């Protein structure tokens, strides 16, 4: 089957808005596509770690981001639990951290819940611990409860609005496309747009839910990836007029 012809193959400036260290990883992928990047995160990660992590009764860990993996491994030396992860990047982070039994579910929280529920018999009644953000994306606990699996949330970090430097703000008029990975980042961008309209900016989002906070924001174009995977998001760059 012939490869689809991109709508535009010109070099563009892409604004990477996600928090570090993921921002640098996305920037590398965008540069590999032949585009310029502006790495100016709208969010930053701050630890809200407890004094210790209680793993009694825990049968498995669920990670929805590499940030969750890093936050957990900073506080716990345990690597013998089974890990369920969303996406290849999160699974790779878990393996690099020393976890041996890692299962990856491509997609979103719903896909992760399906993967865990399919193996609930192997958990032997243990609770699934979800170390992650103070404001988790999606209702993993609710999705698992309907499958008879108990999940406990453990907030280890939060993402808060970041202050853009004067240099980054000065470069915003050069930006052709902004990439958004989370609804929280979209809310920050919406607030920025209220302070100064961005009628020439095109926004590409990881999912429809990520784009929703920008529903009333005036932008040149908005689109979301057909699948909640970064590869699908990046494929939109050269298909955006």
Say what the pLDDT of residue 2 is. Answer: 44
Q: Read off the pLDDT band of 9 (50, 70, 90).
A: low
Q: Is the pTM of this model over 0.95?
A: no
Element (H, E) at 133: strand 127-133
> Is the pLDDT reported for residue 71 higher than 60?
yes
pLDDT score of 217 more than 80: yes
Question: What average pLDDT score do residues 220-229 get?
Answer: 92
Note the Cα 197 to chain centre separation in Å.
Answer: 26
The 10s digit of each residue's pLDDT in 93-114 is: 999 999 999 999 877 788 899 9
Q: Helix 87-96 and helix 66-75: axis angle, to 10°?
A: 20
What is the edge-to-edge ordering of all strands in the sheet holding 36-39?
36-39, 13-16, 177-180, 198-205, 219-224
Residue 185, pLDDT above cutoff 60: yes
| Cβ atoms within 10 Å of 57's Cβ, excluding its own | 11
Residue 8 has pLDDT above 70, yes or no: no
Nearest to 140 by CA among 118, 112, 104, 159: 112
* pLDDT on residue 7: 54
pLDDT at 6: 54
Q: What structural domains and CATH numbers belong to the chain?
A: 13-44+172-239 (3.40.50.10090), 46-159 (3.40.50.10090)
Give the model confidence (pLDDT) of 157-166 as tens digits. 999 999 999 9
Alpha-helical regions (H) of the chain: 22-32, 66-75, 87-96, 109-117, 140-145, 166-171, 183-195, 208-211, 230-235
What pLDDT is recorded for position 111?
Answer: 86
Determine the average pLDDT of the residues in 129-139: 86
Quick one: average pLDDT of 222-239? 93
Q: What is the mean pLDDT of residues 76-98?
A: 92
- Indicate the average pLDDT of the chain: 90
176 vs 7 pLDDT, higher one: 176
The pLDDT value given to residue 5: 43
């Amino acid at each position: 089957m012939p490869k689809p012809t991109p709508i535009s193959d010109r070099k563009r400036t892409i604004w990477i808005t996600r928090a570090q260290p993921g921002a640098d990883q996305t920037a590398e992928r965008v540069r590999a596509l032949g585009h310029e990047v502006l790495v100016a995160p709208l969010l930053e990660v701050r630890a809200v770690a407890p004094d210790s992590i209680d793993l009694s009764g825990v049968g498995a860990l669920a990670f929805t981001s590499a940030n969750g993996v890093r936050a957990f491994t900073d506080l716990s030396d345990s690597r013998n639990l089974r890990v369920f992860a969303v996406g290849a990047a999160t699974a790779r982070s878990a393996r690099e951290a020393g976890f041996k039994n890692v299962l990856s579910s491509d997609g979103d929280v719903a896909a992760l819940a399906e993967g865990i529920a399919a193996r609930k018999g192997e958990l032997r009644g243990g609770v699934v611990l979800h170390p992650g953000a103070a404001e988790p994306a999606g209702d993993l606990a609710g999705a698992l409860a309907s499958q008879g699996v108990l999940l406990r949330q453990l907030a280890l970090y939060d993402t808060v609005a970041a202050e853009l430097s004067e240099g980054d703000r000065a470069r915003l008029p050069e930006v052709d496309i902004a990439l958004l990975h989370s609804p929280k980042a979209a809310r920050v961008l919406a607030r920025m747009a209220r302070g100064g309209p961005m009628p020439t900016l095109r926004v590409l989002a990881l999912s429809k839910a990520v784009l929703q906070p920008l529903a009333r924001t005036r932008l040149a174009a908005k689109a979301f990836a057909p699948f909640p995977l970064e590869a699908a998001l990046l494929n939109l760059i050269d298909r955006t007029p």
